Amino acid sequence: MPTFPFDTQKIIPIGSDHAGFELKKHLIPYLQEKGFIIEDLGCFDSSRVDYPSVANDVMSAFKQYNSERAILCCGSGIGMGIAANRFSFARAVVANDLFSAKMSRRHNNSNVLCLGGRVLGLDLAVDIVDTWLSTPFDGGRHESRVALLAKSRS
């Protein structure tokens, strides 16, 4: 079982559009089984919904709850990533492989994971989530670079 470098009792907001709904539906009980508190902000069925609206709700909850991580799912992960990165406090990454999930944490201190429901199998998605949640930020030389990201969006 992976260990997590942050407070697992903080809320992880999660959301999806219709294309990511099945993936989100699969991830929620898995994450709860691991002890995470999950706030599902939609969508709640496979009816068409606009991903920017869901991303806005998730990012608002992320800020309100002072969360350390959030997860967004859409067809490719790309739309949700673009929508999330509009928020100055977000460092959203689209990760469709383990290496991207790991390095986005180690070097970029990513705090929003965007996954593609039409790209990933459910088992790989779980492995990506585990990798992303359990990988700590390396800090060091990467801290000043991450600080520049925040500064460039103020």
Q: Count other Cβ atoms within 10 Å, centred on residue 1.
A: 6
pLDDT-derived band at 38 (thresholds 50, 70, 90) equals very high
Residue 16 Cα distances to 26, 36, 70, 103, angstroms: 12, 18, 11, 24
For the chain, give every domain's residue range: 11-152
Q: Which residues are CB-contacts of 29 (< 8 A; sequence separation ≥ 6)?
A: none
How far, in Å, are 30, 59, 126, 132 from residue 87 at the CA level? 27, 8, 26, 20
Per-residue pLDDT for 26 more than 70? yes
Q: What is the pLDDT of residue 137?
A: 95
Q: Which of 73, 74, 114, 142 does the annotation list as catalytic? A: 74
Query: For residue 104, what are the CA distances in angstroms to 9, 62, 86, 134?
Result: 22, 19, 18, 12
Q: Which fold has domain 11-152?
A: Ribose 5-phosphate Isomerase B; Chain: A, (3.40.1400)
Does the pLDDT value for residue 145 go beyond 70? yes
At residue 2, the pLDDT reads 67
pLDDT of residue 71: 98
Task: Please say if 74 is a catalytic residue.
Answer: yes
pLDDT, tens digit (0-9, with 9 covering 90-100), for 76-113: 999 999 999 999 999 999 999 999 999 999 999 999 99
pLDDT value, residue 68: 94
For residue 64, the model assigns a pLDDT of 95
For residues 57-76, give the mean pLDDT: 97
43 flagged as catalytic: no
Q: Please, are residues 60 and 67 in contact by the beta-carbon 8 Å criterion?
A: no
Dig out the tokens for 140 from the structure: 């060091």
Q: What is the pLDDT of residue 153?
A: 62
Contact 138, 102 (CB under 8 A): no
- pTM of this structure: 0.93
Amino acid at 8: T
Share of the chain above pLDDT 90, in %: 82
Q: Which of 26, 107, 114, 142 is catalytic?
A: 107
Find the mean pLDDT for residues 67-82.
Answer: 98
Residue 49 pLDDT level (bands cut at 50, 70, 90): very high
